[in-house]
Structures are given as structure tokens and as C-alpha cells.
């Protein structure tokens, strides 16, 4: 009987290494790294964060997708959503014949056209319990690239639901990872979850725990962010905190501390283990990139450029960190920079639309900080550095 579920790849790394290098490698990035993460040419200096770009989980997911296409050259290969939040990587997979399955805003993935003869890749974010079960029922080959850090969160949420605790997830309720994480509670009768986006929403939860507010208002406020049948009077008595792995670490820890304080106030410190649990489930790669950019912006910089998909949560958080310290431009890729016109297209932190500005590179000696989200390949970082240099009339080719 054919094996239909794979989580560890196909041992074809040597077959795909050439393609991965051709698609994502950057000599410019190698050069900057070799020079202590600093590159100076004339009065222009680039400083690269010491942790940036592809993390282990993204590397692994992209490798498995390439291996899958190589392993099953004659079969139809589908991908549930996007492999990661980077438009170039996703477009490359499409050019390799991988078909993307999309979820309507208010609906479910349409799996009706998938047959047992097809291959379906599950993305690094994972999929919901329901979607996994639907695909298993089809009998197709599943290649699961779910990141290990995400799986760690799932284990934590699973243990909360198993023990009768509501999972309070710090995350974006519409994000694929948070949807998949929240769904883990559905394995248990009565399993409940609540998603909080930020400290403001967490404080609403805290106020209710402490006895303020009405149930009707609470349900209205969190309408899209609750498990079905959620009853705040019943389901906020015992809670366990977890988070989307790419959120800001400090914010996740502060939210957990705030909920803990409210639980202690309501039930007393001695009874806390019966009412509250927490565990830091920020992934190490996200934390490493946040720590590295904090060190970088502590140095004198004229501006920061953050490269990565606008829908990449970890990239937008890097941009938010930098925004407080230096003029920051979150760009999707090098094409956002027009050296001849002297303009840049970027998305400010918290905005939903791009802006275009001119004169963004000051005259005279200039130090530019550069970092990239965990789903940004090195070639896109290198291309950005080259474009910035070109805007100052400098060529990096030699």
C-alpha cells in the first residue's frame, strides 16, 4: 500500500540544491556577511542585522516543496494557501507547476477537485484540524511542511484543551497559523479558544475576568475570534496563554503577565495553578531576528530598510521595532526602489496601503541598516542593497 503522509522529506536534497542556489542565493549578501556584516563604498555604508532572512522552518518548507515536485514529476501537485509569506517564493513554485488552493475570506478551501492520485503540500503555517481530516479522507499524498515551532504551540494548546483550559492565543485571528493553532482545541469536547490581537484586547479580557463588563459586549467585541458557543462566564475561569510564533515577544510576555495578574486578583495567588497556565511559544528564529535588529538600531543609523512580504507577520513586527528608532522603510522587494526617479514604495507600520516618497536617501555620508523577515530569500536582500547603491551612483559589481 502506498504511503500517503510525509513529514521528513524524500532525501532528495542533493537533487535540488542547484535549483535552490540559483533561485535564492546572493553573492552580495555573502560579501557583506564575510566583511563582518558591514559594507562601505565611498560615503555609503550598509549594516546588515546578524540574523535575517530565511529561518530553518522556512528553509525546510521550501526544500520539501522542491523535493515534492522532483519526487512526483508526473502528478498534479497542490499547495494549501501559500508555502510562506513571500510572493517570489510562491511565484517560483507556481512556475514549477504547483497549483495553489485559496480560501475565500469567509469560506473554506475547496478540495473538491483533488483526487487520490494528487499530491498536496501543507504549508509552514500548518492547516486546521478540519482541513487536515478532509484531505486525509480524500486519500491523496500529503507532504506536511508545518514548522516545528508551530507544532510546539499546537502541543501546548492541545494540553490546555485536554485539561479543560481555554486557549488564549496572542495572534492575528485571520492568519493561517493562528487559525490552525486555534483549531487544535476542537480535538476535545468542550475545547475553547479566544484570540487576542494586542494588549488593548487582552485588557478587555482581564477586565471581564475581574468582574467588569457585560457578556453581550464581550461576545460582540470578540465576535470573529472565539470558538463556537463561547461563554465568557464559563470559559474564562481557567485559561492557558499561547501565541502565534511570529508575534512580538515582549508583547506576548506582557499579555501573559497581565492575564496572570487578573487571575491572581480574582482567585488569589494560591489558587492560580488551577486557573492560569502560560508558556513562551515565540519561535527562536523570530526572537533571534528581533534581538538582532534591536542591536542594529542601537548603533548610529540614518535609516532602516526592512525587506519582506507585506503579509508576513514577523517582517511587519521587525519594521515596527525599527520605526521607533530610525526612519524605516518596509518594502516587499528591490522593485520598490527606483534609483533613477529617486523614489521608494513602502508600507508604513500599521498601514494597509503602500506609500511612495522621493528624496528618501539623504545627501552626504549615509549609513543604511538592512534586515529581512524569516520568509525573505537572500537574493531579494542582495538586490535591494544593489538598488540602494545604484540610487547613490555606486556599483557593487567587481
Q: Which of 82, 176, 177, 383 is catalytic?
A: 177
C-alpha cell at 378: 537572500
By residue count, the chain amounts to 398
Q: Any bridge partners for residue 369, and if so which?
A: 47, 304
User: How many C-beta neighbours within 10 Å does residue 154 have?
Assistant: 20
C-alpha cell at 214: 457585560
Cβ neighbors of 74 (< 8 A, separation 6 or more) are: none
Q: How far apart are CA 159 and CA 154, in angstroms?
A: 9
User: How many C-beta neighbours within 10 Å does residue 335 have?
Assistant: 12
DSSP 234-291: HHTSSEEEEE-TTS-HHHHHHHHHHHHHHHHHHH-GGGGGGTEEE-----HHHHHHHH
Task: Let me know if 177 is a catalytic residue.
Answer: yes
| Burial class of residue 316 in the structure, from the number of CB atoms within 10 Å of its CB (0-12 exposed, 13-18 middle, 19+ buried) | buried
Give the closest residue to 186 by CA, choosing from 167, 172, 202, 205. 167
How far CA 322 is from CA of 200, 315, 337, 366, in Å, comes to 22, 11, 19, 17
Residues annotated as catalytic are: 177
Amino acid at each position: 500500500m502506498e504511503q500517503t503522509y510525509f513529514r521528513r522529506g524524500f532525501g532528495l536534497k542533493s537533487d535540488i540544491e542547484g535549483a535552490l542556489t540559483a533561485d535564492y542565493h546572493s553573492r552580495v549578501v555573502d560579501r557583506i556577511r564575510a566583511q563582518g556584516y558591514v559594507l562601505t563604498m565611498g560615503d555609503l555604508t550598509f549594516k546588515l542585522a546578524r540574523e535575517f532572512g530565511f529561518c530553518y522552518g522556512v528553509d525546510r518548507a521550501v526544500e520539501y516543496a522542491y523535493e515534492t515536485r522532483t519526487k512526483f514529476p508526473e502528478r498534479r501537485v497542490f499547495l494549501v494557501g501559500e508555502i510562506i509569506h513571500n510572493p517570489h517564493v510562491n511565484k517560483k513554485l507556481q512556475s514549477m507547476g504547483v497549483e495553489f488552493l485559496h480560501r475565500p475570506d469567509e469560506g473554506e478551501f475547496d478540495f473538491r477537485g483533488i483526487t487520490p492520485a494528487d499530491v498536496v503540500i501543507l504549508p509552514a503555517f500548518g492547516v486546521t484540524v478540519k482541513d487536515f481530516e478532509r484531505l486525509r479522507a480524500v486519500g491523496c499524498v500529503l507532504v506536511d511542511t508545518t514548522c516545528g515551532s508551530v507544532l510546539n504551540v499546537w502541543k501546548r494548546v492541545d494540553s490546555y484543551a485536554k485539561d479543560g483550559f481555554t486557549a488564549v492565543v496572542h495572534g492575528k485571528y485571520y492568519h493561517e497559523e493562528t487559525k490552525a493553532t486555534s483549531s487544535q482545541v476542537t480535538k476535545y469536547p468542550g475545547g475553547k479558544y479566544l484570540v487576542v490581537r494586542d494588549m488593548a484586547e487582552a485588557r478587555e479580557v482581564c477586565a471581564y475576568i475581574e468582574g467588569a463588563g457585560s457578556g453581550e459586549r464581550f461576545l460582540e467585541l470578540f465576535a470573529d475570534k472565539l470558538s463556537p458557543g463561547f461563554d465568557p462566564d464559563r470559559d474564562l475561569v481557567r485559561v492557558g496563554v499561547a501565541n502565534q510564533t511570529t508575534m512580538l515577544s515582549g508583547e506576548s510576555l506582557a499579555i501573559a503577565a497581565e492575564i496572570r495578574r487578573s487571575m491572581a486578583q480574582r482567585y488569589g495567588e494560591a489558587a492560580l495553578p488551577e486557573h492560569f497556565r502560560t508558556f513562551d511559544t515565540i519561535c527562536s528564529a523570530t526572537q533571534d531576528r528581533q534581538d538582532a535588529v534591536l542591536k542594529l538600531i542601537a548603533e548610529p543609523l540614518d535609516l532602516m530598510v526592512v525587506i519582506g512580504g507585506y503579509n508576513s507577520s514577523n517582517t511587519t513586527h521587525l519594521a515596527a521595532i525599527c520605526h521607533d528608532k530610525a526612519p524605516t522603510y518596509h518594502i516587499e522587494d528591490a522593485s520598490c526602489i527606483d534609483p533613477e526617479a529617486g523614489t521608494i514604495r513602502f508600507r508604513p507600520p500599521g498601514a494597509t496601503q503602500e506609500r511612495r516618497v522621493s528624496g528618501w536617501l539623504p545627501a552626504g555620508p549615509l549609513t543604511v541598516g538592512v534586515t529581512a523577515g524569516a520568509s525573505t530569500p537572500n537574493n531579494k536582500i542582495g538586490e535591494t542593497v544593489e538598488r540602494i547603491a545604484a540610487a547613490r551612483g555606486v556599483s557593487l559589481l567587481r
